[in-house]
Structure 1
């Protein structure tokens, strides 16, 4: 038996298959659609290994269709007032909030994170649209003094045009909203390519938007492989700006292929967390554990390099190991679960490699250290604490993107800063100290886009600027609040020579 799931407007968005899974559709010009090739790929629940359904394997032709749809409507969005676009963003936030439970359940099925974390992510997604709505109403520009007494010079903001958005699987609702919400608020039309392993929740978001006043073609969704449909967004002349969150390697390829298009790139990070000898260790353990193990460590700002002063090393290691051992790994739909599975085999394999490399070079597994037994799939990974980590180990140079706490010991403050800055990633960091002089000393010298004092490296308020440090491979530009609007729009200068205009005052004098 095959049943159809209908949107409120009556269009078919997905179908139930006989095996209990679903056949999903992407969205182009406001309508659910299949790939022009007719091909699909299977998407699975990472917690159970069971199929969620079949997803359209989009092609470059599908991406072109979506770009064409976005170009059809871009002027309509551009010439809406900021207040009209703000009202639209609030409407989208309303419908996200009204669908909170359903979206959270689908997010857990699709990504694998605990349901409690999924609900927080849905709330953040709605908040992104509310923030963008309010920010755009206050997106003020300049009137600039002119050297010419007969001229007035002022600036306005205009959208880039068509925004191509390519997003990862770790926060598959909130990260897209970091681009889509300010992108729409600024007046861009959008083509969105989500990660193949978390495309179901993207479709569910578009479904809840189907009964809003979002213009057809304003937000298009193309599913498929990044090197195909994602790359088409980057190289196609029909897109005007690209937003991407993901790995440094892919980000570099996008920057190269995009040519002169503006790009907003939020790429990888690897801590560090620096625990000084005067730190409040209880707070340091709690906050660092959160940064290591929330979302099963699948966070670009995760606390995956922990630099601990030798005087407090033993106590810190004992406490964070105790904390890791108390975490519950299991069914992400269960209320008591702290960690669900890793999202995909690639990140689980990477954890294996990093731990093996570290232990072969002398690191000690304090707790965890491998995949959990007796689980529905082998993507469940034990919360792991590694001690005796050195700077030569791969885990120091690359983000593991899993539930891991690698601990490096240092003896002097300048040694800690040198270790912190030696790698080519510079997204976020944190420093634990009770001394205000040391706080400023480290905050000024650690080369990351964000430095948090006495909190997790993953702490971020979504209205503040988030991005990498110059000279590192953690991206360019800033997402967050008004900073996203600045990146996703352009300044236009208008100079008016009013003395050379036909003067109504002169015409009045002539009549007299």
Structure 2
């Protein structure tokens, strides 16, 4: 499982990269070495692209029903390794085992969903002005897909691209985040058991600036799928040279708690949105706009929910939140909290890295009040277990603060007024608006993505929307006598 550094799967063969390095992988739980991966060279990525390029013409010709059966086999292979994958996911990423087990289950569902939906990826017949013409449209695979995936959901997010991409007839070259490459290797070994043709899916591990850059920029790939930060997404957009892009990037809410909200429901949902996966979710409840009339009561209850979080070794059943995944995100969370405090915020609970833990990546579940609009935690994506509260006095102020942000992914609104709810649905500048639920609510078949003019991505992952996005829509015209 990467213990020997052989972590590239190219053309159906596991191999090391003679031109690359072998590097250790350390668990965020305690800093211990848990395996090694190949820190591959661009040449390894080039070889993977060539393998995918060679396999694509034949894979495209496989019938949709047979590709669907292959996706079912893949789901079954992952399901058979669910406990093993979940344990490694917890060890390498740092999320509690229950969350990891759930994530692996969702990846099984993702392959089954692609198997179902690809059979109904139907085109149209189009009426024409010319009576002698007949016009039809149909979907064709784009070709070779470059897929680059992050460390926060390193099993399920890859499947959001791999399953619809393969089902549609594309071949894949996949580069995972370096800090969760061991579980990527384990997932690839499960996929291998589904006996897909060699080269249909390829894995190359290493630095994003090297192998990731190569697969997105190389003319041998036809399209790009990426989930990650807005900054990296912009770099990829420049490097893709006009290729189709399916990108799910960062988010920063907001969650809006109005004066008529059901407080019990709002507190429970918001706490979940803040502390699941230690807040390392693009749809996390990262900035919370609370009406002045209920602010103090909401803050008190949310702080109690934060104190109820059990921080510790995520392999233990009683633990509900583990460490942050890596030093970079830990530094950003700490700097955002410090900045907010320096600008006048108050830490009702938490507010700093947790002491006396086996690694420096544990951060206290935190609730901040009095957060200013110019604080970094309001303007940027924090990606940690922090609930920053800003006071609002009206719907108009909520709309103003919501719009004053470069992100536009997911928002949540808590109100018991249906007319008010629909106004927020219309006005919020986010791709998804959840009413009376956590900002993290999503199901695999629902379209997920950001708003135009924002930095939260392009296109939609999820169900038939991802399938369509990973295809070209071809038009055929006929002249008839």
TM-score of the two chains, using structure 1 as the length reference:
0.93
1:508 counterpart residue number: none
> Structure 2: which 5+ residue stretches go unaligned?
none
Give the conservation status (yes or no) of the 8 Å contact 1:24–1:53. no
Structure 2: how far apart are the matches of 1:353 and 1:34?
A: 38
1:120 aligns with 2:76: no
Which runs of structure 2 are paired with 1:15-414 in the superposition (5 Å)?
15=3, 23-414=5-396
Give the conservation status (yes or no) of the 8 Å contact 2:134–2:479. yes
Question: Out of 410, 415, 418, which is 1:428 matched to?
Answer: 410
Structure 1: how far apart are the matches of 2:162 and 2:358?
A: 35
CA shift at 1:76, angstroms? 1.4
Secondary structure of 1:85's counterpart equals: helix
CA shift at 1:210, angstroms? 2.2
Rg comparison, structure with higher value: 1
1:502 counterpart residue number: none
CA shift at 1:243, angstroms? 0.3
Give the conservation status (yes or no) of the 8 Å contact 1:387–1:408. yes
CA shift at 1:268, angstroms? 0.4
Secondary structure of 2:233's counterpart equals: helix
**More deviation in 63-72 or 46-55?**
46-55
Give the conservation status (yes or no) of the 8 Å contact 1:141–1:155. yes
> Structure 1: which 5+ residue stretches go unaligned?
1-12, 16-21, 500-512
Secondary structure of 2:474's counterpart equals: strand
Secondary structure of 2:331's counterpart equals: helix
2:435 counterpart residue number: 453
- Show CA shifts across 1:47-77 (max 9, x none): 0100112210111110000000001110111
Give the conservation status (yes or no) of the 8 Å contact 2:7–2:204. no
Give the conservation status (yes or no) of the 8 Å contact 1:24–1:200. no
Structure 2: how far apart are the matches of 1:14 and 1:61?
A: 20
2:447 counterpart residue number: 465
Secondary structure of 1:55's counterpart equals: strand
Structure 2: how far apart are the matches of 1:25 and 1:427?
A: 33
User: Alpha carbons of 1:424 and 1:38: their partners in 2 closer, same or farther (altered >3 Å)?
Assistant: closer
Give the conservation status (yes or no) of the 8 Å contact 2:8–2:15. yes
Structure 1: how far apart are the matches of 2:261 and 2:43?
A: 56
CA shift at 1:38, angstroms? 4.2
Give the conservation status (yes or no) of the 8 Å contact 2:20–2:41. no
TM-score of the two chains, using structure 2 as the length reference:
0.99
CA shift at 1:82, angstroms? 1.2
